[in-house]
Amino acid sequence: MNPTDRSAASEPPSEVTDDIDEAALAEVMRVTPLGAGVLAGSAVALLVLGYLAIYLLVFLPRGPVG
């Protein structure tokens, strides 16, 4: 069970390149991270709303605790 060294996993990343065209990357980087901001931002906003909803509608009505 001896994989040969052609396994690319043995190359440290500093010597590895990928086949991404730098011009295409630059183009893409002009818009990124708009999508991520909207997607992740909506998810977090929903989480916060859900948190407040449970806090105000479920937790507080059950009475005080201390």
Partner 1 sequence: MRNAERLCLAHFWVAFAAFLAACILGTWQMWVRSPWGAHVGTPGQYFMSVTAHGVSMAYVLTTFFIMGFGYFVAVTSLGRPLPGRAWAWAAFWMGIVGVLMVLVTIALGQASVLFTFYPPLTASPWFYIGLVLVVAGSWVWCVLMLVAMREWKRENPRQPVPLAMFATVANAVMWLWTTVGVAVELVFQVIPASFGLVQTIDAGLARTLFSWTLHAIVYFWLIPAYIAFYTIIPRAAGGRLYSDTMGRLTFILFLVFSLPVGMHHLMMDPQHGNAWKFIQMLLTIFVSVPTLLTIFTITASLEIAGRLRGGRGVFGWIGKLPWDRPAVLATGLAFVMLAFGGFGGLINMGYGMNAMVHNTSWVTAHFHLIFGGSVVIMYFAIAYEIWPRLTGREHDSLAPLRWQLWLWFIGMMVMTLPWHWLGLQGQWRRVANFNYADPIIAAWGPWVIVSLFGGLVLLLSALLFVRNLAALHRSPMLHAQRPLYALAVHPPHRVPAALNGFGLWNVLVLVLMLLAYGYPIAQFVIEPSPAAMVHRVH
Partner 2 sequence: MTDRPAEVHEQRILGTELLWAFGVGILVAATLSVVVFTALSRDINPPSNVERVDPKTLHLSGEFAEHNLGTTVGPDGRVTARIIATQFMFVPRCIAVPRGRPVTLRIASPDVIHGLLITGTNVNTMVVPGFVAQVHTEFTRSEDVLMPCHEYCGLGHSEMWATVQVMTDDRFKPAPDGRVSCAQR
By CB under 8 A, name the binding residues for partner 1: 1-5, 7-18, 20, 24-25, 28-29, 31-40, 43-44, 47, 50-51, 54-55, 58-59, 62, 65
Q: Which DSSP symbol is given to 5?
A: T
Q: Which helix (H) or strand (E) holds 57?
A: none
Query: In whole angstroms, what is the distance from residue 61 CA to residue 26 CA?
Result: 53
Residue 45's binding partner out of partner 1, partner 2, none, with CB under 5 to 8 Å set by partner kind: partner 2
Instruction: Give first-to-last CA distance, the chain, whole Å.
Output: 62
Residue 63's binding partner out of partner 1, partner 2, none, with CB under 5 to 8 Å set by partner kind: partner 2
